[in-house]
Amino acid sequence: MLKEKIQELRSEITKKQTAINTKIKEAQKRAEEDNLEEAKTIKDEITSLKAEIETMTAKLKDLEELAGMKQEEVTEGEERAFKPRSPKVNFTNEIEEMRSKVNDYIRSYGQTRDGLKTIDAEPVIPVEILTTPQREPEDVVDLASMVNKKPVKTGSGTYPVVSNAKNGLVSVAELAKNPELATPEFKKVAYDVETYRGQLPISQESIDDSGIDLTALIAEHLQQTKRITTNRAVANVLKTFSKKTVSNVDGIKQIVNVDLKQAYKRDYVATASAYQWLDTLKDKNGQYLLQPDITSPSGKSFIGKPVSVVDDEVLGTKAGDMVMFVGDLKAGVFFADRVDVTAKWVDNDVYGQVLSIATRFDTKQADEKAGFFVTIKPPVETGATE
């Protein structure tokens, strides 16, 4: 029985490896057709398959050890057949080639644009180039990654969102006809992508210096400015949810335990001032309510859930605003990601020419029942002067 399971696992690993090889060819074909969005999607599928193979390989190793089969006893032929290979997808060469083309475009002040796709005559910089991993402070909160973020291929349209089920199954007699279930409720969220632009001055020395990778400079700038832009956009949607005002922790517990339906997750996004207030709360035993949590963006959890912290002016309107969102970020906010980032040289009266960059997306409320926008107004202490 154990040997049969081992053989089944080996067979599944082989099938998934074959699927990876097929998808590699598909991805390379899409890249050659300059369809980088589909190529990236296929790349993500390859990554997922490789993760599945790693999990299955670990399980296979455990089964082989149980069966008394040491790894060194596997023949070279078996190893080639069943040990998952790590095929090198040709994306590295594709990305490096595109980086070179983007650099040529920048250094030629927009005159050389061979191999670059354009939108409205503006070259599109592939997203793979602009999302190069880099070291960032661990306390940086990216709200766009917490909501329902989906890539879209058009500037406007609708996206279907399924409402939470309200009815369960019913018991029936043996061989009785199945009763009809309630029809799923779909809500179409309309989106209209907006363009966000900014200017990035690049020195003539950097342009002239062939050793400078200008795409890296652009990527660093974009990762910072885009996060600021998307955080504000998501925060503006969070402000549209039903308003609640609380004066103590019991008010928040009322929202979490009763007002918010149990089908929704409990996420907390708080301003720095609201977080400071939460961080000073204690229970009857004098213990702080905020507890250490390594999985939380802020490093602490509140009522068992992680807390994300943003600047007062992002979720509020001014410094000192104690407000927070309590609810399900994924269910509540839809982020239409158009992905395209364009670059264009424009005249500047002071600097001469600067590189204009743009990104396109839209954020909408998807489910108005998924959360609450909470304002914290602590009671005035007895004896305080007005």
pLDDT per residue as tens digits for the range 195-240: 888 877 776 666 666 566 666 667 667 777 888 889 999 999 999 9
Q: Phi and psi for 209 in degrees, rounded to 5?
A: -80, 110
Gyration radius from the chain CA atoms: 27
DSSP, collapsed to helix, strand or coil, labels residue 379 as: coil
Give the mean model confidence (pLDDT) for residues 101-105. 73
89 pLDDT more than 60: no
pLDDT in tens, 368-386: 999 999 999 988 765 544 4
> For 12-16, 37-41, 143-147, 151-155, which range has the lowest pLDDT when averaged over its residues?
37-41
Burial (0-12, 13-18, 19+ Cβ within 10 Å), 298: buried
In the block, tokens 């909408």 appear at 364
Q: Return the pLDDT at 48.
A: 79
- CA 40 from chain centre, in angstroms, equals 15
331 pLDDT more than 80: yes
Q: Which of 214, 224, 213, 215 is nearest to 135 (CA)?
A: 224
- The H or E element that residue 254 is part of is helix 249-254
What is the C-alpha to C-alpha distance for residues 354 and 345, in angstroms, rounded to an integer?
Answer: 6
Give the mean model confidence (pLDDT) for residues 20-45. 76
Give the mean model confidence (pLDDT) for residues 309-326. 95
- 333 or 282, higher pLDDT: 333
Query: Could you give the percent of the chain with pLDDT greater than 90?
Result: 25
Cα–Cα separations (whole angstroms), residue 258 to 34, 244, 328, 338, 367: 51, 13, 14, 37, 18
Specify whether the CB–CB gap between 266 and 260 falls below 8 A.
yes
What is the C-alpha to C-alpha distance for residues 360 and 187, in angstroms, rounded to an integer?
Answer: 23
Cα–Cα separations (whole angstroms), residue 118 to 130, 167, 200: 16, 49, 19
Q: Which of 377, 226, 238, 228 is nearest to 316 (CA)?
A: 238
Q: Phi and psi for 349 in degrees, rounded to 5?
A: -65, -30
Contacts of 22 (CB under 8 A, 6+ apart): none
Please give the model's pTM, rounded to 2 decimal places: 0.60
* Average pLDDT for the chain: 76
Binned at pLDDT 50, 70 and 90, residue 161 comes out as confident
> For 10-19, 102-111, 125-134, 261-270, which range has the lowest pLDDT when averaged over its residues?
125-134
What is the C-alpha to C-alpha distance for residues 26 and 44, in angstroms, rounded to an integer?
Answer: 13
Angle, to 10 degrees, between the axis of helix 91-107 and the axis of helix 214-238?
A: 100
Q: Return the pLDDT at 187.
A: 80
Beta pairing class for 186-192 and 194-200: unpaired
Q: Which of 213, 196, 198 is nearest to 356 (CA)?
A: 198
CATH topology of domain 116-162+182-386: phage-related protein like fold (3.90.1690)
